[in-house]
């Protein structure tokens, strides 16, 4: 019985030793995991900061884009006004567009239409041309006059 107890104690000591070894390994694994978790949390915090910086930069860029778009709209409106003032023969409502190219195209179309109308009016006017000045006088035809009127006409001519 004593040998059995000794052998149980020896087995127990081996188990205790194995458990201690397992505990060390688990502790080491736990420390490694803690270290990995800390690294990952730090990386996440860095990425969160980077995302915040990028979001702020994007907001700033969007604000700047809005300002540029407003300035562009003002410049196009000023250009359109200059085109209207520079072409007084073109009705302002014929010059349309939201870009410089559209305004230029509308101006070309308007000028072409005005030229076409002008040519048609000139062609029509040349067909109905009336010579300048009073018509030539033709001598009066005395055949329809009475004798008395003929005498007065003759006296008045001399």
Q: How confident is the model at residue 81 (pLDDT cuts 50, 70, 90)?
A: very high
Dihedrals phi, psi of 132, to nearest 5 degrees: -75, 155
Residue 68: how many CA atoms within 13 Å on its side-chain side?
Answer: 6
Q: What is the pLDDT of residues 104-124, one digit of tens each?
A: 999 999 999 999 999 999 888
Is residue 152 domain-resident?
no
Q: Which is more confident, 74 or 124?
A: 74
Sign of CA dihedral 141, 143, 144, 145: positive
Question: DSSP code of 99?
Answer: S
Instruction: Identify whether residues 82 and 5 lie together within a single domain.
Output: yes
Is residue 68 domain-resident?
yes
Per-residue pLDDT at 158: 59
pLDDT(134) > 70: no
Instruction: Identify whether residues 101 and 24 lie together within a single domain.
Output: no
Domain of 4 in residue numbering reads as 1-86
Other beta carbons within 10 angstroms of residue 72's beta carbon come to 12
Instruction: Identify whether residues 13 and 39 lie together within a single domain.
Output: yes
Instruction: Identify whether residues 12 and 82 lie together within a single domain.
Output: yes
Give me the mean pLDDT over the 134-151 stretch: 80
Cβ proximity of 134 and 142 under 8 Å: no
How many residues make up the chain in this entry?
158
pLDDT(48) > 70: yes
Percent of the chain with pLDDT over 70: 93
Per-residue pLDDT at 8: 73
Q: What share of the chain is helix, strand, coil (3-state, %, to 5)?
A: 80, 0, 20
**What is the number of domains present in the chain?**
2
Percent of the chain with pLDDT over 90: 63
Q: Locate tokens 């884009």: which residue? A: 65
């Amino acid at each position: 019985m004593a040998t059995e107890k000794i052998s149980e104690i020896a087995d127990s000591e081996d188990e205790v030793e194995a458990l201690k070894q397992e505990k060390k390994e688990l502790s080491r694994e736990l420390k490694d995991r803690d270290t990995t978790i800390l690294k990952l949390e730090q990386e996440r915090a860095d990425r969160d900061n980077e995302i915040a910086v990028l979001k702020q930069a994007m907001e700033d860029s969007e604000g700047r884009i809005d300002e540029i778009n407003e300035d562009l709209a003002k410049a196009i409106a000023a250009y359109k006004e200059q085109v209207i003032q520079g072409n007084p023969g073109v009705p302002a409502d014929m010059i349309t567009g939201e870009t410089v190219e559209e305004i230029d195209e509308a101006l070309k179309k308007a000028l072409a239409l005005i030229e076409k109308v002008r040519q048609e009016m000139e062609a029509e006017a040349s067909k109905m041309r009336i010579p300048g000045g009073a018509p030539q006088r033709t001598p009066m035809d005395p055949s329809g006059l009475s004798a008395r009127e003929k005498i007065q006409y003759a006296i008045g001519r001399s």
